[in-house]
Amino acid sequence: MPKNKLKKYGEINSFQNLFQYGFHDLEKNNFPLKGKWNQDFFKNKSPIVLELGCGKGEYTNGLAENNLDRNYIGVDIKGARLWRGAKISSEKELTNTAFIRTMIEFIDQFFVADEVSEIWIAFPDPQPKSVHEHKRLISPKFLTLYKKFLTTSGIIHLKTDNTDLYEYCLKVIKECNHEILLSTSDLYNSGIDDEVISVQTHYETSYLEQGKKINYLKFRLHD
């Protein structure tokens, strides 16, 4: 393993805002902050927002800087990516951020009912093959998972350059009788001017430079 990677893996354990829990860890013990994020970690009563598949934490940290009245938690399985997000967060002293290293399939093990107010999913793997539909982060399987910890008025945001994924998500939301609050297949020509466009990831900037249009969905889950 390269020295730089070894250094990252050694340093990742020193970050106070990064938590690593795998399936076997969760089987043995409940995650200690489950149901206690506001009380024991953030030390406030601000709403909690998740970014699923956060990569290097660009969106998590960017939103946290712009919205100090909310708490942001980035989730990813890649340690090297999370190292970058947690390091930048620590250097900027962002006390309203945290990161979890785990598979998103286990995300309900980290939160209790009504503990999360919003979910952001920015440029996820579109999983284009139909056989991998269950891996799409806005498939019925995952939406059922999110409902376990989202508030009744909780909101989910999706940004993607992949039109097929966008149309698939629209179909799923409608078929499951969830509520679409906002949708556009061309975000930057839609007139939307708020936190949706206030932060751009490296990938999003690259897509825009290539002339690609960005799709955006904002919706709420219903029973």
And the tokens for 114? 């009504």
User: What is the reported pTM?
Assistant: 0.93
120 with 182, same domain: the answer is: yes
Name the band, by pLDDT with cuts 50, 70 and 90, for residue 8: low
Whether 28 maps to a domain, the answer reads: no
The chain-wide mean pLDDT, for the chain, equals 92
Mean pLDDT confidence for 25-52: 93
Domain count, the chain: 2
158 with 62, same domain: the answer is: no
Residue 131, C-beta contacts closer than 8 angstroms, at least 6 positions apart: none
Question: Tell me, what's the pLDDT at 4?
Answer: 60
Beta bridge partners of 217: 158, 183
Question: Tell me, what's the pLDDT at 1?
Answer: 46
Catalytic residue among 125, 164, 186, 194, which? 125
How many whole angstroms separate alpha carbon 100 and alpha carbon 48? 14
Mean pLDDT confidence for 112-126: 96
User: Over 80: is that where the pLDDT of 142 sits?
Assistant: yes
Under DSSP, is residue 191 helix (H, G, I), strand (E, B) or coil? coil
CATH of the domain at 99: 3.40.50.150
Mean pLDDT confidence for 8-22: 79
Whether 29 maps to a domain, the answer reads: no
How far from 88 is each of 15, 32, 60, 77, 196, CA to CA, in Å?
11, 25, 11, 18, 21
User: Over 70: is that where the pLDDT of 114 sits?
Assistant: yes
Q: Report pLDDT digits (tens) over 191-208.
A: 887 778 888 888 899 999
43 with 137, same domain: the answer is: no
93 with 176, same domain: the answer is: no
Q: Is 108 a catalytic residue?
A: no
Last residue of a domain, which of 74, 104, 134?
104
Contact 38, 44 (CB under 8 A): yes
94 with 172, same domain: the answer is: no
Question: Which residue, chain included where needed, has tokens 């990161």?
Answer: 99
Residue 187 exposure: Cα atoms within 13 Å on the Cβ side: 28
118 with 97, same domain: the answer is: no
58 with 146, same domain: the answer is: no
| Domain range for 53 | 1-22+34-104
How many whole angstroms separate alpha carbon 205 and alpha carbon 37? 32
